[in-house]
Every structure is written in C-alpha cells, then in structure tokens.
Amino acid sequence: MTEGVPLTLSAREPYVPADRLVAEMVPPPRFDSVRFDTYVPDERQPSQRAAVTALSSFAAGLGGAAADRPTGVRRWFGRKQAAPTGPRGVYLDGGYGVGKTHLLASLWHAAPAEPERKAFGTFVELTNLVGALGFQQTVRTLSEHRLLCIDEFELDDPGDTVLVSTLLGKLVDAGVALAATSNTLPGKLGEGRFAAADFLREIQGLSAHFMPLRIDGEDYRHRGLPEAPAPFSDEVVVKAAYAAEGASLDEFPALLAHLAKVHPSRYGALTDGVRAVCLTDVGPVPDQSTALRLVVLADRLYDREVPVLASGLPFDRLFSEEMLNGGYRKKYFRAISRLTALARDAKGLAGQ
C-alpha cells in the first residue's frame, strides 16, 4: 500500500489455501481474550448467569476421561454405557446480541486441551472446510480434536444441514465434544431466534448428545449505549480514509458487486491488513442474495474489530421491510447490530 492512499476492497481477490482454513478455526480476534469471567450478565436475566455456570461445568467435564481415546469415546458415546458426566454437547439458545458467541468462545478457551485440538468456527466456515478438504478428510482432521464449537449453525439450507449433521455424527463417534449456537429457520419469526426444540429436531440422531441452554435478554451491543451515529458526508469519509493508516475506501454499490465474485469463505482474507473500512454512498441492499453476502462480511469485520465509517443511508435502513420480516430476519438484525457497533467504533476516525 502506498502511504496515504487507502486500500480498495473491491480490487482484492484473495486466495485462501485449505490448510489456512483449518489453522484459522479458532475464536476470532474480537473473542480472543474473552473468558467466562469477562461476560457481564444482565442481572434482570437469571438465565445468563445460569448459562455461565453450566458452561463452566461443561468445560471442566471435558478433562479427565476426555484425554483417553478410544476408551474415552466409548465411555462418552457408547450405546451400552451411560455417559457419566451427562450430555457431551451443548446448544446455546437465545436471541441475537445476548452474548452467545462470547460464551461459546469462553468455552473454547476454558476447555482443557491444546489449541490445536480445539476448533472454533461458524457453520459457513465448517461447510467451506468440507468443500476445500472433502468430507472424509474433514472427518479425519476434526476427529483429532477434543472440542468443536460451531457458531451460527445455519438451518436455512436442508442440504447443508444434512451434510453437517452427518459430519457431526462421525465426530461424535470419534469422541469429539460439540457446542453450538444457531440461526433462525425460514418462517421462524417470533422472537427472531431459533428455538432449541427445532435445532434438536434438525440434527436428528445427535439430539440426545446436546444439552440446550436458554439465554434470555436484549442485545448487549445497545444496552445502555447511545443511538447509532448518523452517517457522515462523503467528504468526511474520504478524508478519513486517506488519513487513517490501513484504511480501505470503497463505494458501497461497487463493494456489493465485488462480493458476488468472491466466495464467502474468503471474506476474512479480503479484510487482511485492513484497520478501518470507509464506505461512501451506502444505500438499500438490492436483493436477498446480496444481503446474505453482506451479512457474512459484517460478521468478519465484527470478528476482527474493524471500524466502519460510512456516508449515505444509516445501517438500520440497509434491508427492506420484506427482508426484515422474512425467514432470514435474524441474520439481518445481527448485521445491523454489528455494523452499528462498528460505526460507533469509527467515530474517532471522523474526529469525533
């Protein structure tokens, strides 16, 4: 990068080798330092503190017999012997913004195993790994792990659900402990969350291995915080992009068009080295396919704590009412929530 000239995301075409996909299956930078004792429960929601207690016990239960294979596998999952420490999988059930990812990452950190024997990734990253390595090699690779944490388990695509459920069945047989959060099924409106009963039904034969933990509460990203900052002018955004080291500068429509040319598994690599994202001409997302790609990018930016400075339309007006009332509503609200948090982080770039 030439000094003083911002990067352009829409000009990048990253390549991500399969071994990097495996090596990067750890909690993202935003959650690298989280632990159970850094989670701040909402005292009005007893289920949050109860979840911390239950997950701490679950993590502790992964020691001892977990280190012995295949004997430990037979103790945990054998049909003829009851698991002495209860279910060997846990599902975090709750709305967006209640801290499920924080708790899932805390579980990964607390599990008594070497980092290379624990894996953490989103459902999309897991399906991408299967695509890169093939099913059998993915099974062999992940079977060496003691714990697999899956964030944002997606049940929108029946084919992917069957694929991952089959994969998890193989991993259970190999003695891998499982933990997951999930997204909303199409048509599941209600609270904007995916119910535990539906999750357990979709993973069929694996349901007996999961202990559901309900986590109630409001979106912590906006708990007691001021309203999201209004968009800035194009002039302010461009000036900030040239002034900030490692900043990128893109017209929003051009970036959306470019995302269609880059596989979502590469969106993390797309932001490598980027310390701030500056966007001009932010406007309504034109269609659902584009909207879902933007959701993935928002997740990767949030994971990496990359502030987003923008001009144009406020982030809470990116998605149409039809989208916000449809089957993917939870994804869109999560994207709005995360982009709003990143917009707050970017205020300093504009001198505020």
pTM (2 decimals)?
0.75
Taking residue 321's Cβ as centre, other Cβ atoms within 10 Å add up to 7
Tell me the per-residue pLDDT of 236-283, one tens digit each, with 9 for 90 and over.
999 999 999 999 999 999 999 999 999 888 898 999 999 999 999 999
pLDDT reading at 80 higher than 60: no
Tell me the per-residue pLDDT of 157-186, one tens digit each, with 9 for 90 and over.
667 777 888 898 899 899 999 999 875 433
Cα of 319 vs its chain's centroid, Å: 20
Closest CA to 238 of 336, 352, 349: 349
pLDDT reading at 35 higher than 90: yes
CA–CA distance, 178 with 196 (Å, rounded to integer): 15
The arrangement of strands across the sheet holding 210-215 comes to 118-122, 147-153, 177-182, 89-94, 210-215
Cα 95–Cα 101–Cα 107 angle in degrees, nearest 5: 125
CA–CA distance, 51 with 180 (Å, rounded to integer): 13
Structure tokens at 118: 């624990």
Which region among 45-54, 188-197, 322-331, 335-344 has the lowest average model confidence (pLDDT)? 188-197
Query: Quick one: which H or E segment has residue 321?
Result: helix 321-324
Structure tokens at 201: 């039904």
Average pLDDT over residues 140-153: 92
Cα 117–Cα 74–Cα 178 angle in degrees, nearest 5: 40
Contact yes or no for 298/305 (Cβ under 8 A): no
CATH topology of domain 33-221: Rossmann fold (3.40.50)
